Structure 1
Amino acid sequence: MEFIKTIPVIKWKNKKYEKNEEQTVEDKYAYLFIDYLPPRKFSVYPKNLEDFAIGYCLGEGLIKAKEDLKEIKISKTNILIKTHLNHTPEEDFEQDEIIQRKKGNCEHACVCRLLEYQGVNSDNAGGIRSQLKTITPNNSTLKINATQIIKDMRNLTKNAKIWEKTGGVHVAQLIYNNKTIIREDVSRHVAVDKVIGAAFKLGYDLTQSYTTYSGRMPADMIIKVIRVGIPIIISNAAPAHSGYEIAKKGNITMIGFVRENRFNLYSAPERVNLKK
């Protein structure tokens, strides 16, 4: 498998140890250049980078339709995206200023942003646009069966091939009309970006799709699915309270702690048929 390395390891158990070998995922830095915006830097598993780039732009609100994309070029892990919207750095300053004014900290924020832009913005968590000024509730009519949630998590685990070899990645899955896309990455955000981007390229209706992934559900992850219109998010991990609050406001169905025969349903329960 590509980008998998073997490294020496000492395994210790019950006061005994042995020398052995273990496989680890090879992560690399990817640089995302979007129009005239300062470059973004990500730690990624370097496959499906076009899917990631498109999913990131959608989740950050930088594009909304295929017509917004002008060109994508990839050279190793450098990704150049041109849109018809011609984004400029002023947008990031304006966005940050709006957020920081609410906190009464605008001057400090602008200075910090200027310092960031002297180098490359390291952006592994949720993106610069990690807050929403307004939240429009998701009115998708999509409904799924409770037993399907368990099946989907089993499928996610079964197809987490890189995770199985290394334990060093997150895995995300997008389901649309019984069609499934699975992607893995060292970042849970990038893994979700990749499935969103792949689904977008295939023309899937994201309002009739849902995603299952490994990792917590904080606000910035829920904001991502709100922006692209996905109504249901499922995880084997816990929600953060920030994620729960955004999910409630956005009418997103949030499901966590999925195990062999159980899960927790936190918000918008009407999308889950609990009897099937």
Structure 2
Amino acid sequence: MKLLNEMNVIQWKNGESKTIKEHTVNDEYTYLFIDYLPPRKFTTYPTDLEDFAIGYCLGEGLIKDYSDISSIELDGTNILITTKLNHDPEEDLEQEGIVQERKGNCEHACVCRLLEYQGVNSDNAGGIRSELKTIEPNMSDLKIDATQIIKDIEHLTDEAKIWQETAGVHVAQLKYKDKIIIREDVSRHVAVDKVIGAAAKEGYDFSQCYISYSGRMPADMLIKVIRVGIPIIISNAAPATSGIDVAQAGNITVIGFVRDNRFTVYTSPERVNLEN
């Protein structure tokens, strides 16, 4: 599968134009089939798809641990996952507050709602599980030095090879002790799913991990982090108010606007050593 495309483009600079060769990233539809649930459709940069699938299941609360997955099969960009929990569509209807009744004309109406739901549930933000009814505060004792935060974003940029070629992807970096995992994708959500999935396969202790990535931090992104138990997330962009509210409830540390040797700590600042 060809992942980068080269094309002739016109570049305008300082009042002059010229034809140059430029690379663009090839994105593909990826379908995720989990047990008996309706398929989920994503636009991805189709590498590290197994990592994505594992991270997605963890971040969406479909599994509690990597060991809950019985099998993963890749068929092109289709991913088939069997879990030990045997999820079925009724779970998703319950999550949406849709009660499927089987009496008279109501059965037909509920089937129509199910079909409507199937058409909209698949997205890069996580779909129907993008809210938390209960939040367990993260009690991790992990701390990070202020100077390390700057270094992490610099490292993220230096290692973002596809971004350097195309400027068409997001990049996520998960750090655990002296180990680093980096993944890229056209979706910031999928990039984060990929590093979470890769770390789960390695058996990393998420309470001692943190993520740096390129992208905004709304609630649906931070919910992934809360669910898996990661205490710190760092970005060169800003959190949304919804993200701050969720982060405060989950007691995770949100650090944004990391650029030009500065950053902003929005929540749980006790995990940042501001003296170093």
Question: TM-score, normalised to structure 1's length?
Answer: 0.92
Q: Shift of residue 28 of structure 1?
A: 0.5
Distance 1:261 1:168 in 2: 25
**Residues 54-93 of structure 1: matches in 2 within 5 Å?**
54-93=54-93
Distance 1:33 1:167 in 2: 30
Mapped contact 2:121–2:128 kept (Cα < 8 A): no
The count of residues paired between Structure 1 and Structure 2 equals: 266
Structure 1: which amino acid aligns with 2:129?
R
Mapped contact 2:54–2:66 kept (Cα < 8 A): no
Question: Are 2:176 and 1:176 aligned?
Answer: yes
Structure 1: which amino acid aligns with 2:275?
K
Partner of residue 7, structure 1: 7
Structure 1: 5+ residue stretches without partners: 99-107
Q: Shift of residue 11 of structure 1?
A: 1.3
Mapped contact 2:135–2:250 kept (Cα < 8 A): yes
CA spacing shift, 1:203–1:153, aligned 2, 3 Å? same
Q: Shift of residue 123 of structure 1?
A: 1.1
Distance 2:17 2:165 in 1: 21
User: Match of 1:192, SS?
Assistant: helix
Mapped contact 2:121–2:127 kept (Cα < 8 A): no
Partner of residue 104, structure 1: none
User: Match of 1:263, SS?
Assistant: strand
Partner of residue 115, structure 1: 116
C-alpha offsets along residues 71-100 of structure 1, whole Å, 9 cap, x if unaligned?
A: 1000110100000100001111100118xx
Structure 2: which amino acid aligns with 1:274?
L
User: Match of 1:258, SS?
Assistant: strand
Distance 2:76 2:209 in 1: 31
Q: Shift of residue 121 of structure 1?
A: 4.4
Partner of residue 239, structure 2: 239
Partner of residue 95, structure 1: 95
CA spacing shift, 1:14–1:131, aligned 2, 3 Å? same
CA spacing shift, 1:270–1:11, aligned 2, 3 Å? same
CA spacing shift, 1:273–1:2, aligned 2, 3 Å? farther
Q: Shift of residue 2 of structure 1?
A: 5.5
Partner of residue 223, structure 2: 223
Question: Are 2:187 and 1:202 aligned?
Answer: no
Mapped contact 1:143–1:272 kept (Cα < 8 A): yes
Structure 1: which amino acid aligns with 2:39?
P
Distance 2:38 2:31 in 1: 10
User: Match of 2:267, SS?
Assistant: coil
Mapped contact 1:27–1:186 kept (Cα < 8 A): yes
Structure 2: which amino acid aligns with 1:128?
I
CA spacing shift, 1:217–1:10, aligned 2, 3 Å? same
Question: Are 2:159 and 1:139 aligned?
Answer: no
Mapped contact 1:73–1:81 kept (Cα < 8 A): yes
CA spacing shift, 1:109–1:255, aligned 2, 3 Å? farther
Partner of residue 30, structure 1: 30
Root-mean-square deviation (Å):
1.8
| Aligned-residue identity in percent | 67
Mapped contact 1:96–1:109 kept (Cα < 8 A): no
Distance 2:210 2:111 in 1: 37
C-alpha offsets along residues 10-31 of structure 1, whole Å, 9 cap, x if unaligned?
A: 1123443222221011111111
Partner of residue 103, structure 1: none
Moved more, 58-67 or 234-243: 58-67
Structure 2: 5+ residue stretches without partners: 99-108
Q: Shift of residue 124 of structure 1?
A: 1.5
C-alpha offsets along residues 85-131 of structure 1, whole Å, 9 cap, x if unaligned?
A: 00001111100118xxxxxxxxx9996553142x5843112332000
Mapped contact 1:97–1:109 kept (Cα < 8 A): no
